[in-house]
């Protein structure tokens, strides 16, 4: 069947930021009037299933990832975009043309948390993504 790989990671903790931004503090852009006093408890992770097809240059990939930037808030409690959770299911294939050239086709199905308190987020936003990438190694 070829090589099978399973990769994953789980992340959690507390992140300091300002209330309407998910970015982490950056020392070179700290603004005293926007103190990083907002703490979010977050959770996230990803899981990859990678299957090489025996004696062919093809590899199939399946991916699931999610991020919940504020696990203390659930649906219809979230009132700013920085606290919305997102998940992604993706699938695709690699074609190793030669040792220095690889073509990747991948499709991501993105799903966002729904809330009635943020305009436009009362339903899932249509933001699925198709990627076609040619990589050259030198």
| 57-85 pLDDT, tens digit each | 999 999 999 999 989 887 778 888 888 99
Annotated domain spans of the chain:
4-10+43-136
Q: What share of the chain is helix, strand, coil (3-state, %, to 5)?
A: 5, 55, 40
pLDDT in tens, 43-61: 999 999 999 999 999 999 9
* Contact between residue 107 and residue 128 where contact means Cβ atoms under 8 Å apart: yes
pTM: 0.80
């Amino acid at each position: 069947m070829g090589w099978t790989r399973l990769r994953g990671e789980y992340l959690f903790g507390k992140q300091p930021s300002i209330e309407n931004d998910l970015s982490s503090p950056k020392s070179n852009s700290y603004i005293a009037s926007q103190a990083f006093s907002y703490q979010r408890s977050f959770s996230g992770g990803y899981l990859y299933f990678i299957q090489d097809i025996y004696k062919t240059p093809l590899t199939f990939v399946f991916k699931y990832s999610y991020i919940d930037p504020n696990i203390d808030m659930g649906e219809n409690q979230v009132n700013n975009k920085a606290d919305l959770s997102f998940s992604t299911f993706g699938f695709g294939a690699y074609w190793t043309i030669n040792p220095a050239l690889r073509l990747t086709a991948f499709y991501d199905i993105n799903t966002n948390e729904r809330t009635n308190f943020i305009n436009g987020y009362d339903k899932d936003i249509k933001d699925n993504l198709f990627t076609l990438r040619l990589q050259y190694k030198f």
